[in-house]
Amino acid sequence: MVRRGLLLRLLPLGSFTGLGMLAVAGEQYVLAGLLGAGAAAAGYRLLDREGNARRELSRRARANVRALERVAREDSVSAPQMRRIAELQGGLLESWELLPGEYRPLLDEDVFTVIEEVEGAVRLARRRAALRRHLDGMDRRDIRRRIRSLQEDLSRLEEGSPLRATFERALEGRRAELAGYEEMLDGISMINAQLESAESLLGGLRGDLLTLEAGLAPQALESGLVRLKERVALFKKSMDEVTRAVGKLHEPATEELPAR
């Protein structure tokens, strides 16, 4: 994503430079001068690393807000939480902007990490909504009833009956479906906890940033920065763990039952 942004910034510089050379070759010096000025402006913007980083951060934050709004529209249950996360992300960036200029570079990487993890939170929220929709279409009591029925049918079949294999496969499929139901409930619980953690982190970091430079001695400031970085690192680790765990969930395939 960052690489794509760099290519987009290189494009104007290359275009101005190339067209300027063509203009010089064609002795169109006024046009060449204008194109040269454009190339200089594009080059300055490219070399303005801090400005580029801030623009990239703003772009990704806006993309997060749009994604959060989309989840809120698609899943009314998640809507209040999605709005809170969007507001907390905005508050975090505001607090970071209010830091003195000499402090911001010390936290640039951490702020980028938090914005990336908000992207991850959006993906988890979408996964949660999909899991809920899938569970809404499942009837756990009906699955258990079918399992009992299949067990009864199997108990009435003689050993060596050619029908046993068919009924055993169907029974195995229903049991897997029931196990998948429980796994998906666990996945939703994990996502709920992680999104609550995301809210807590964003709110806590905003407050920490607002009070970070309020008359602190250099030594206290250093310890505050270390604490902030540790919190971000721990949050990223927990997000990665939950994402991996939820990614292992799958919608169980249902074996077709034998004709009754």
pLDDT tens string, the chain, 260 residues long: the values are: 444 444 444 444 444 454 445 444 554 544 444 444 444 444 445 445 566 777 888 899 999 999 999 999 989 889 999 999 999 999 989 888 887 777 777 788 888 889 988 999 999 999 999 888 888 888 778 888 888 888 887 888 888 788 888 888 888 888 888 888 888 888 899 899 889 988 888 888 888 887 776 645 555 666 777 888 888 888 888 888 888 877 766 544 333 434 43
CA distance 255 to 252: 9
Residue-by-residue DSSP string for 7-51: HHHHHHHHHHHHHHHHHHHTT-HHHHHHHHHHHHHHHHHHH-HHH
CA distance 69 to 86: 8
Query: Helix or strand or coil: residue 96?
Result: helix
Q: Is the dihedral of CA 197, 250, 131, 188 positive or negative?
A: negative
Q: Which among 6, 7, 4, 10 has a CA at the least distance from the CA of 43?
A: 10
Q: Is the dihedral of CA 141, 144, 150, 152 positive or negative?
A: negative
